[in-house]
């Protein structure tokens, strides 16, 4: 008799650019241990021993994202802003391959312009913006989605940067949240995308100038996103080109050779 097994802990890697925190005094005050630490704490606060968390930053060797680290990561979260260009193309390719092979990815706020997000989306990922202390309200438009569980309607963020439409992304597979701002702008602020064998969640709140990642409801959403993004598939693997003889559905030969 099969039963629900208790799932193994989710291996989470929280990646942070970690530059504003070192450079901008007011950011360092909000996030003295770095934004990545606050994000990690928020996940731990919600998932507890259902997850195991490590952090990695831009200035680590290979940005802390070696093949070994990624192979041991179920879900990667990504916050970057001022130094997208400094992320090496090799690491971006590696992360991309792992996402398509089944690693979950959460892209936060200004990560909309990270190399990895732009590569996964195929669009410009541009948007409308203003950094003037707008109040942000997040409205759930998909109340049965796992990522929306336990989230107030609306979720109030006292101050945040405004990110507005048109946000140039592909139509999301699922739209979970829509935000409005004091100034009247809106954005599709919680969006899921399936890519290859991986699940991607973009979540727009979180400018470095405000204590957004200390907000308990924001933390809840991120933790829900981590839980959702962990694949159900037992093994990591990239979708592969396969030739199949007629009637031979299950055996195949991989097509390293070019297609006929």
In the region spanning residues 57 to 86, those forming contacts with its own copies, defined by CB under 8 A, are: 81-82
Q: Which stretch binds its own copies (CB under 8 A): 25-33, 53-61, 65-73, 166-174?
A: 166-174
* 182 is a site residue for its own copies (CB under 8 A): yes
* 26 is a site residue for its own copies (CB under 8 A): no
Q: Which is it for the CA torsion 223, 228, 229, 230, positive or negative?
A: positive
Note whether 198 and 63 are within 8 A (CB).
no
Whole-angstrom distance, CA of residue 55 vs CA of residue 224: 18
Q: Which of 25, 89, 235, 258 binds its own copies (CB under 8 A)?
A: 258
Nearest-approach distance from CB 58 to its own copies, in angstroms: 15
Nearest-approach distance from CB 207 to its own copies, in angstroms: 9
Strand segments, DSSP code E, in 9-85 are: 10-16, 51-57, 75-79
Q: Which stretch binds its own copies (CB under 8 A): 30-38, 55-63, 86-94, 149-157?
A: 149-157
* 1 is a site residue for its own copies (CB under 8 A): yes
Adjacent-strand bridge partners of 191? 175, 202
Q: How, if at all, do strands 198-203 and 104-108 pair?
A: parallel
Q: Which of 139, 159, 211, 236 binds its own copies (CB under 8 A)?
A: 139
| Nearest alpha carbon to residue 96 among 81, 115, 111 | 115
Tell me 214's DSSP state.
G
Q: Which of 132, 158, 214, 216 binds its own copies (CB under 8 A)?
A: 132
* 52 is a site residue for its own copies (CB under 8 A): no
Whole-angstrom distance, CA of residue 179 vs CA of residue 142: 13
Q: What does the buried/exposed string (b/e) look like for 180-200 if buried means 16 or more CB atoms within 10 Å of the residue's CB?
A: bbeeebbbbbbbbbebbbbbb
Note whether 200 and 105 are within 8 A (CB).
yes
Q: What are phi and psi of 129, to 5 degrees?
A: -150, 165
Nearest-approach distance from CB 167 to its own copies, in angstroms: 8
* 121 is a site residue for its own copies (CB under 8 A): yes
Residues from 212 through 231 that contact its own copies (CB under 8 A): 231
Q: Which stretch binds its own copies (CB under 8 A): 34-42, 45-53, 59-67, 70-78?
A: 45-53
Strand segments, DSSP code E, in 88-205 are: 104-108, 128-140, 155-164, 174-181, 186-195, 198-203
CB atoms within 10 A of CB 65: 27
* 250 is a site residue for its own copies (CB under 8 A): yes
Nearest-approach distance from CB 43 to its own copies, in angstroms: 11
* 170 is a site residue for its own copies (CB under 8 A): yes
* 19 is a site residue for its own copies (CB under 8 A): no
Q: Which stretch binds its own copies (CB under 8 A): 52-60, 69-77, 86-94, 159-167?
A: 159-167
* 100 is a site residue for its own copies (CB under 8 A): yes
* Residue in this structure with the two tokens 């909309």, named with its chain if needed: 112
Cβ closer to its own copies: 88 or 131?
A: 131
């Amino acid at each position: 008799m099969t039963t629900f097994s208790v799932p193994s802990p989710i291996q989470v890697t929280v990646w942070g650019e970690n530059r504003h925190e070192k450079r901008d005094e007011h950011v360092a005050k909000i996030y003295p241990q770095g934004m990545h630490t606050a994000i990690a704490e928020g996940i731990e606060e919600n998932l507890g021993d259902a997850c195991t968390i490590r952090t990695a930053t831009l200035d680590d060797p290979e940005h802390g994202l070696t093949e070994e680290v990624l192979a041991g990561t179920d879900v990667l979260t990504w916050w970057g802003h001022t130094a997208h260009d400094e992320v090496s193309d090799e690491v971006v390719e590696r992360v991309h391959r792992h996402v398509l092979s089944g690693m979950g990815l959460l892209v936060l706020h200004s990560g909309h312009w990270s190399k990895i997000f732009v590569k996964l989306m195929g669009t410009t990922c541009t948007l409308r913006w203003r950094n003037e202390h707008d109040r942000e309200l997040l409205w759930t438009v998909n109340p049965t989605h796992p990522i929306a569980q336990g989230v107030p309607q609306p979720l109030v963020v006292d101050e945040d940067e405004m990110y507005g439409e048109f946000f140039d992304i592909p139509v999301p597979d699922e739209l979970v949240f829509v935000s409005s701002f004091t100034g009247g702008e809106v954005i599709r602020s919680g969006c899921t995308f399936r890519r290859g064998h991986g699940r991607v969640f973009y979540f727009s709140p979180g400018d470095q100038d405000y204590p957004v990642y200390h907000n308990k409801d924001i933390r809840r959403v991120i933790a829900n996103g981590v839980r959702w993004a962990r694949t159900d598939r037992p093994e990591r693997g990239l979708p592969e080109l396969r030739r199949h003889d007629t009637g031979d559905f299950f055996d195949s030969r991989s097509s390293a050779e070019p297609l006929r």
